[in-house]
Each structure stands twice: as C-alpha cells, then as structure tokens.
C-alpha cells in the first residue's frame, strides 16, 4: 500500500531529525540558514516582471527586473538570483541586522537580496539598508528589528528541522516559477 503524503512527510522529518542530531544546534542552524537565504533570493526572483523598490544614490528608486533576477536593495544592482557553481553569484542574501544573531536570523523583514559588493565589502551598507526597511516596512519595523537583536533565541533541533522543511518547500515552489532555474 503506497504511503500518504502525510506519512512521507513524517518519514522525511524523522530522517532529517536523525541527521540533525549529528550536529550541534548552532552548526545545524547555519545549514538551515543557507537554504533560507537561497529561498529569499528565489522568492524575490519568482515575482512577476516589473519594478521593485531599492535605494540608489541614497534615495528610494524603482528598479526594473525580469523574472529570475533580483535587485540589490541597497544599490539597485540587478543580477541573476542564482550564481554559478564556483563562488556564487552577484546577488546574495543580506541581513539588515547581522545574521550572527539567532533572534533575527530568520526574520522575514531582516533578509533581502543584496549584491556581493554591498553585502561583503560595505558591511551590508547599513545606512541604505535602513532607508529601504523604513520605506518598505516603516520606521517602527526598523526599531523592532534593532530591539530584537538584543534578545537571546535558541532553536531546538525540532524547530530547525521544521524550518528547514518549510524553507525547502518554499524554495521549490519559487524555483518552479522561474524559467530555466
């Protein structure tokens, strides 16, 4: 008798939980974060062709992008959501509040497509990132994220496995909307 979708999901979850036990929660959290960041870019790239908000030259601007592309929220650079096999691509996933804090690592308003230059060489370009957050979500959200970074959050293995399953499903759904992903 074939397994139901629920039974398949439970088996997959049990296998993932066994695998997660081989790692410390912090190490496993970093593995989940990689999928999360890829999902952030894929979901942005899967949106219909058109304009999105970004900060260019210190001001809010509308930047055109095609399906499969992401726009750096802090400079407006447009690039493919997924890089090549060597060294990644032009667009990464950058965090407004540094992702070293578990309390803000998976916050949806804290992570957006960002070019490698802004993310790595400009340290996230915090000034422009704050302008973006304020424009898109409001001043209150920027303050909430700043306060949240001071909270201590520890994820259990069960929480991390559930997040990983959710992020994988969302990534797959977004990739299906992107031609030639």
pLDDT digits (tens, 9 = 90+) for 96-112: 998 778 899 999 999 99
pLDDT for the residue numbered 88: 57
What average pLDDT does the segment 12-32 reach?
Answer: 92
Q: How far is CA 40 from CA 57, 109, 167, in A?
A: 24, 10, 9
Write out the two tokens for 101.
């804090």
8-state DSSP, 121: I
Q: What is the mean pLDDT of residues 122-142?
A: 96
Mean of pLDDT over the chain: 92
Hey, what's the torsion of the CAs at 104, 145, 54, 36, to 10 degrees?
10
Q: What's the rounded mean pLDDT across residues 124-152? A: 95
User: Per the confidence metrics, is the pTM higher than 0.85?
Assistant: yes
Q: What percent of the chain has pLDDT over 90?
A: 81
Confidence of residue 85 (pLDDT cuts 50, 70, 90): very low
CA dist., res. 24 & res. 32, Å (int): 12
The predicted-structure confidence for 139-169, as pLDDT tens digits, reads as follows 999 999 999 999 999 999 999 999 999 999 9
The span from the CA of 146 to the CA of 107, in Å, is 12
């Amino acid at each position: 008798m074939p397994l139901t979708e629920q039974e398949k999901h439970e088996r997959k979850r049990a296998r993932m939980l066994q695998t997660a036990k081989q790692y410390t929660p912090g190490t496993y959290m970093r593995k989940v974060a990689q999928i999360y960041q890829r999902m952030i870019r894929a979901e942005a790239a899967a949106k219909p062709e058109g304009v999105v908000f970004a900060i260019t030259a210190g001001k809010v601007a509308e930047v055109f992008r095609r399906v499969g592309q992401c726009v750096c929220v802090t400079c407006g650079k447009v690039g493919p959501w997924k890089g090549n096999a060597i060294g990644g691509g032009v667009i990464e996933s950058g965090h407004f509040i540094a992702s070293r804090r578990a309390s803000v690592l998976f916050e949806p308003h804290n992570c957006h497509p960002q070019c490698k230059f802004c993310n790595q060489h400009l340290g996230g370009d915090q000034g422009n990132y704050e302008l973006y957050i304020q424009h898109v979500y409001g001043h209150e959200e920027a303050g909430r994220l700043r306060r949240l970074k001071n909270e201590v959050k520890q994820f259990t293995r069960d929480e991390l496995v559930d997040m990983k399953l959710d992020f994988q499903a969302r990534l797959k759904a977004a990739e299906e909307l992107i031609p030639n992903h």
